[in-house]
Amino acid sequence: MALAITANLFQAMFSSFLWLMSILFSANHRNWVYGARHLLLLCHVLICCILVFTVCGVGLGLYAKFAGYWPEVGITLAFLLLVVGYGMWSTAELAANEIPLEYYHFPLWFKLGLMPSPLLRKGARQHIRTMAEKRAKDLKSRAWKEKSLGSSATSFLSSTTTQRSSSSRNSIGYLLRKAANSIDRGNVDVSKYEERLADAPS
């Protein structure tokens, strides 16, 4: 239990650091999660340590408390194993079904030590592999889509900047763009409205 308390304290400390830094800096860094992966890994390892140490500590404590009262020892330890076993089984199934790509790339020692249930069935192993491949394709297509959208947005902003710089501050185009920005429609092309107003009879 001393080891569990130590891991819990430091996990809370490092998680607090990560939380505060995320609030302060994540908005300015698109790859913040990737940059914080080492600290996230440490917090995850500490959580796993808390689980293992707590289970061992509670089990030893129950045995020491009820030593000699073997029916009580059997009941309490059976309940402990039931709660922990069902919880770990549910967690493993959740990871295998919802994040199959991440689960597929977990270290083997980690999967066998804490999340072994999906590996015990041949059908489940094949399902994880199939879903992992599908998720990898989805992430790849999303990455290409976001990259293309980013390029389009950059091109649009550069063209808009060029248009604004070419117009004088008292022109019709400048007034139209200023009005569009004031109603949060700055991405609208106002050139056609500018042409209509310029061609309108005075």
pLDDT in tens, 45-98: 999 899 999 999 999 998 888 888 888 889 999 999 999 999 999 999 998 888
Q: How many residues in the chain?
A: 202
Q: Where would I find the H helices in the chain? A: 2-25, 32-35, 37-65, 70-98, 100-104, 108-114, 122-166, 172-182, 191-199
Structural domain boundaries in the chain = 2-143, 171-202
- pLDDT single digits (tens) 5-60: 999 999 999 999 999 999 888 877 778 888 898 999 899 899 989 999 999 999 99
122-153 burial, b at 16+ Cβ within 10 Å, e below that, comes to: eebeeebeebbeebeeeeeeeeeeeeeeeeee
Structural tokens at position 60? 């030893």
Structural tokens at position 174? 């400048």
- pTM of the full predicted structure? 0.58
Distance CA 1, CA 11 (A): 15
